[in-house]
Structure 1
């Protein structure tokens, strides 16, 4: 008589999603004739957004496949860099505000609203065809989610490195507003002089203005820190370019 258990073999890269007691090479799961491979995988805590190749008894299978009793299910991680056809950019949940600003400094389209509840995020991701970035596994398991990804790391620098490694987005630093994600245009100093403090007018010559929110930016006191973010991202992705691009460090 066939075993009533399934033998699930998650790739070690997926072990962090498992409960500690299940972090091993083979996890046994009870067989449910109505459960698909996707249901089995998510029942272990692994969002399908993080899953790449699936195999049942050595043969490739999709998440809708219903395994037989006693089947062996191999679960691989998503391949990197990952391409998401049709994606227009990213959408970040309310806990990733710093990451959103750093992506914008790199010229990556990164939408962000705070506050925004889970339902609103899922709707926006679908309507705008954005990849939802979050550390909330439950949010990634929503059936209505268009596309999503779990962000690794607790520190913004680690989170940014993970997103760059996973998606390898095209970089165009200093072209987006870090405050609202709008596009920036360089602007003559004379056109914004009446909006600047005397010290700023005296010390800086290059300015940019957001098309969407009309904020004015310049390469101010925090510019060196942002230069380092840009330089590290370019080094990681192997792209060339000046770290000290158009002004976005200061703003008002």
Structure 2
């Protein structure tokens, strides 16, 4: 490029997205003179889903601003908690975030999940059609314009992923109300209604059951209940309104 030179500085939270030489304060950048500031920021590696306020010489500007020579740009992260306007807060997760999807569903958060790789265009289209926030670690996917909204999942550890999503979006928590397998709503069920899914020991030991209204899967307080209860209690303690 051979156009206006600007200086760009990223907030510390955004610096992991950019090349090492741009992580230390404001650095010069030669632009082409026609690209928007949003395009410039994304070309440096930062998805716009992670960008909050853009400041040019200290004043807020839209992503459509076209930089001029000598301008100093500051890129801030999204504010937390992040408010997503429009539809009720719902999520869509890609194939790599299955554990996070199950934990969000455990907390009663409406979470769609693709267990196979259907491709970025299909994921972006579903996000737009269903007005779901796309959660992913794929920066290319999060740069797709057809997304309704999106958020980068920063950690590879499910515990940290869950805390990050809850802290950023603060969804309403309604634990034990959704199927962790398919996201359907649960209802109380009698032992007879779910008898075909119960082994002999379970039939003798347990009397309280729930069943998914969508896929029919049965639930009871089995061997892993204490572990799940700990996840729920921690989330409610830290993030419930």
- TM-score, normalization: structure 1? 0.91
CA distance in 2, matches of 1:110, 1:206: 25
Describe the superposition over 1:94-137 as per-residue Cα deviations: whole angstroms up to 9, x where unpaired: 10000000000000000001212111110100000000000111
Q: What's 1:93 paired with?
A: 94
Over 4 Å off, 4+ runs:
none
Q: What's 1:103 paired with?
A: 104
Structure 2: which 5+ residue stretches go unaligned?
A: none
Q: Displacement of 1:190 after TM fit?
A: 2.7
Map 1:101-250 onto structure 2 (within 5 A).
101-115=102-116, 116-238=118-240
CA distance in 2, matches of 1:147, 1:71: 29
Q: Displacement of 1:68 after TM fit?
A: 0.8
Q: Displacement of 1:27 after TM fit?
A: 2.4
Secondary structure, in 3 states, of the residue corresponding to 1:29?
strand
Q: Displacement of 1:67 after TM fit?
A: 1.5
Structure 1: which 5+ residue stretches go unaligned?
A: 240-252
More moved, 143-152 vs 156-165: 143-152
* CA-based RMSD: 1.3
Secondary structure, in 3 states, of the residue corresponding to 2:193?
helix
Q: Is 1:35 aligned to 2:35, yes or no?
A: yes
Describe the superposition over 1:172-218 as per-residue Cα deviations: whole angstroms up to 9, x where unpaired: 00000000000000112232224311100111111011011011111
CA distance in 2, matches of 1:210, 1:231: 22
CA distance in 1, matches of 2:215, 2:195: 18
Q: What's 1:4 paired with?
A: 4
Describe the superposition over 1:201-251 as per-residue Cα deviations: whole angstroms up to 9, x where unpaired: 111111011011011111111111111110111121145xxxxxxxxxxxx
- TM-score, normalization: structure 2? 0.95
CA distance in 1, matches of 2:54, 2:123: 28
